[in-house]
Each structure stands twice: as C-alpha cells, then as structure tokens.
Amino acid sequence: MIETPYLLFLGDAPDQLAAKVAQGIKDWRPENAVGQFRMEGCNADVGLKDLTLAEAKEAGAKTLVIGVANRGGVISQAWKDVLIEALGMGFDLASGLHNLLGDEGDLVAASQVNGQTLHDVRVPNVQYPIADGKKRTGKRVLAVGTDCSIGKMYTALALDEAMREKGLKSTFRATGQTGILITGSGVPLDAVVADFMAGAVEYLTPDNDDDHWDIIEGQGSLFHVSYSGVTLALIHGGQPDALIVCHEPTRTHLRGIPHHGLPTIGQVRDLALTLAQVANADCKVAGISINTQHMSEDEALAYMAQVEAEYGLPTVDPFRQGAARLADALAAL
C-alpha cells in the first residue's frame, strides 16, 4: 500500500498537461494531497499550496508522488537531488513513469539507507493471459478519444460517480498510472508486453452481474501514431457494449506531434465503433464527452449544443456538468 497523504512533485513540468498525474490526484482524491512541490522553471500548477519538503513533512505527508507524465516517462537527472533528499527525510517515493525508481541505483541506495519504500505503479504484478475474445457477462463502457491526455480518465471517473449516484452498479477500471494512484488498483496497460495487453483488459473486466457496468479508463487514441496500440488493445480486450467519444476542441494538433492534426469526433466514432464491433457486434456509441477547460461557460455550452445537434448523442463536459446524462444513456441501452 502507498501511504497517504501525498506531496505531489511537479518538478520542472514544461506545461500543465505534463502534470496530469498530479492534477488527477488533486481533482479526484484531494484529501490525499497536502501540497505540491515545484522546481525552478516549472510551468504547471495544480492549485495546491507550494511546500518545501520540510513543510510537507510537518503537514503529515508520507509519500512524495511524481506527478509528472513526461514524454517517454523518464526520471530527469534534474529531479534526483530532490528525490534523494526526500528519501533522507523519511518520505517514500511513488511513480508511474516508464523509467522505474527501482532501476535507479542512487535512489535504491538512498531508500535502503533510510528504510523507505519505492513504489513503481507501472510494473505489472500479474501474469496476464493472451486474450481469447470470449463473451463475458456484465456490461462495459470504454472512453475513446481524438487525442491522448484529453479527458478519458476524468470522463470514466465522473461516469462511475454518476452511475453510483443513480443506484446503478458500476466499477471504475484503471488502466494507467494516474487511475491506479487514485483508486489503488488497476492494470498499467502501456507497460504490459504487447501480446498480453488485450488479455490484461479481459482480466481487468471479468464476468459480472448482467446489470453491472465496468467503466474502463481509456488510453491514447486510434489516430495517435505514438499510442494507438494501447487503444486498440482496450477496444478488443474490453469488448465494450458502449463507447464514449472524448474531445478537446481547442487543440490544434496531436499531443507531442505538431505535424499531425486532430481527427474529428465523427472519425473517431466511426473507426472506434468499427473496431469495437469486431469484439462485440452489439457495441454502440452512447455519448460524447467534451473537455471545455479552456473555454468560457458560454463558449462551452454553445459548442456542446452544436456537437449534440450534429451527432445526435448526449454531449456533456462531465467535469464541469457531471455525467448524469451519459449514465442515463448507458442505462437506456
């Protein structure tokens, strides 16, 4: 178990999106975070109090969580002094980066000297099966998107919350490091060997009651040339009965690759549904989730009304408005 509360380490994050792990924890488990630690040059701010390591320790923090998801998932050398100092002050470290804490000799040595624990949440701890595509009982919904880091996890968490508020059976199924740090369990899907990714999703979403919904956290995008593989594994392994298409309308290009523009909502709807029906012929698109964080209230409402009229699907910003309409759409299937 990773001990709470956390001090969220933003390091030298170049922009707000790079701090999405910290932002997710702050938004969905604010009681677990006492503050944030930012280095010089950090361009992200999740809205928590800036604390030194000593101040965070005084406030009761037990684990320094690396709240940055940089391209390639690398532990920067610039961070090392802070991480080693934190271990010396009695903090555990937790990270969801591809570059594992446990592979860094200086961090391992510091943790051993000080009796602290290194938590790498992106290490699969189960021998996952190869997917077999057999029909499972229960229902499943998957968030798919026009890009990565676009709101698929927020959509899934908000939908799970709305389902529960309506007395419906649901479980949020985390598939990435932020979701795992928020909920305490899940599959770090992009760290699973490729042949076993779809099987890992089958393992994560087993047989269940006929009226139970697994709310599967989406990853990547079918149109993102860097991360499309993990998206397809979710679509086939998840065997979804429903899809929610996620979009952020102010983006001008795919995250990390400025020479690739974004697909349209309709392109994602059509391609994702075609691929989903390979595994579940009855799959339907149930709704659209719009990330309007960079829009005014009036702009957001007008844009969502336009999208809903164009596609004929309930369209909401689940973080701004709640996901009740998406939950109603699932219940009606």
Instruction: Indicate the pairing of strand 242-247 with strand 212-216.
Output: unpaired
What is the average per-residue pLDDT within 208-213?
98
What is the average per-residue pLDDT within 82-100?
95
pLDDT reading at 233 higher than 70: yes
pLDDT, one tens digit per residue, over 111-126 is 999 999 999 998 888 8
Could you identify the residue written with the tokens 């991480």? 83
Burial class (CB in 10 A: 0-12, 13-18, 19+), 14: middle
Confidence at residue 73, expressed as pLDDT on a 0 to 100 scale: 66
Average per-residue pLDDT in the chain?
Answer: 95
Query: In this structure, how many other beta carbons lie within 10 angstroms of the beta carbon of residue 275?
Result: 17
Sign of the torsion formed by the C-alpha atoms of 315, 318, 320 and 324 = positive
Chain center to CA of 71: 15
pLDDT reading at 138 higher than 90: yes
pLDDT, one tens digit per residue, over 261-292 is 999 999 999 999 999 999 999 999 999 999 99
Confidence at residue 161, expressed as pLDDT on a 0 to 100 scale: 95
pLDDT reading at 293 higher than 90: yes
**Cα separation, 230 vs 54, whole angstroms:** 40
